[in-house]
Homo-oligomer: A and B are copies of this chain.
Amino acid sequence: MNMPAVKHPLDEATTLEVLEPGYCAAHTSAAYWNMNGPFGGVTTALMLRAAGLMVAPPMEVVALTVNFCAPQSPGRLFIAAREVRRGRWTSHVTLQMQADDATVVATATAVFGLRQPTFAKQLDRMPAVPPAKDLPSMAGDPRFAWLQQYDFRFVEGTLQLDGPADAPSQASAASMLWVRDRVARPLDRLSLVALCDSFFLRIFHLRQRLTLAGTVTLTAHLHASDEDLARQGERHVLGWADASVFTRNFFDQRAQLWGDDGTLLATSTQLAWFKE
A binding-site residues for B, Cβ under 8 Å: 62-63, 65, 67, 69-70, 84-85, 87, 89-90, 92, 94, 96, 103-105, 107-109, 111, 113-124, 169, 172-173, 206-207, 216-217, 219, 221, 223, 225, 242-250, 252, 254, 256, 264, 267, 269, 271, 273-276
Contacts and interface: CB of A to CB of B under 8 A. Distances in A.
A89 B273 contact: yes
Contacts of A207: 119
A243 B90 contact: no
Given A119-B207, A123-B246, 11 more contacts: A69-B84, A69-B92, A84-B107, A117-B248, A118-B248, A121-B206, A122-B244, A122-B247, A123-B172, A223-B244, A225-B247
A201 B254 CA distance: 20
Contacts of A267: 244-245, 252, 254, 269
A77 to B, nearest CB: 14
A121 B246 contact: yes
Nearest to A84: B104
A175 to B, nearest CB: 13
Contacts of A243: 123
The binding surface of chain A is classed by DSSP as strand
Nearest to A256: B244
Nearest to A96: B84
A169 B190 CA distance: 33
Protomer copies: 2
B62 A271 contact: yes
B271 A111 contact: yes
A210 to B, nearest CB: 14
Given A118-B276, A119-B276, A274-B118, A223 B252 contact: yes
A84 to B, nearest CB: 5
Contact of A109 (B65, B223, B247): B65
B87 A120 contact: no
Given A90-B69, A104-B92, A269-B219, A248 B276 contact: no
B244 A111 contact: no
Contact of A121 (B89, B169, B223, B254): B169
Nearest to A203: B119
A93 to B, nearest CB: 9
A69 to B, nearest CB: 4
B89 A69 contact: no
A247 B105 CA distance: 34
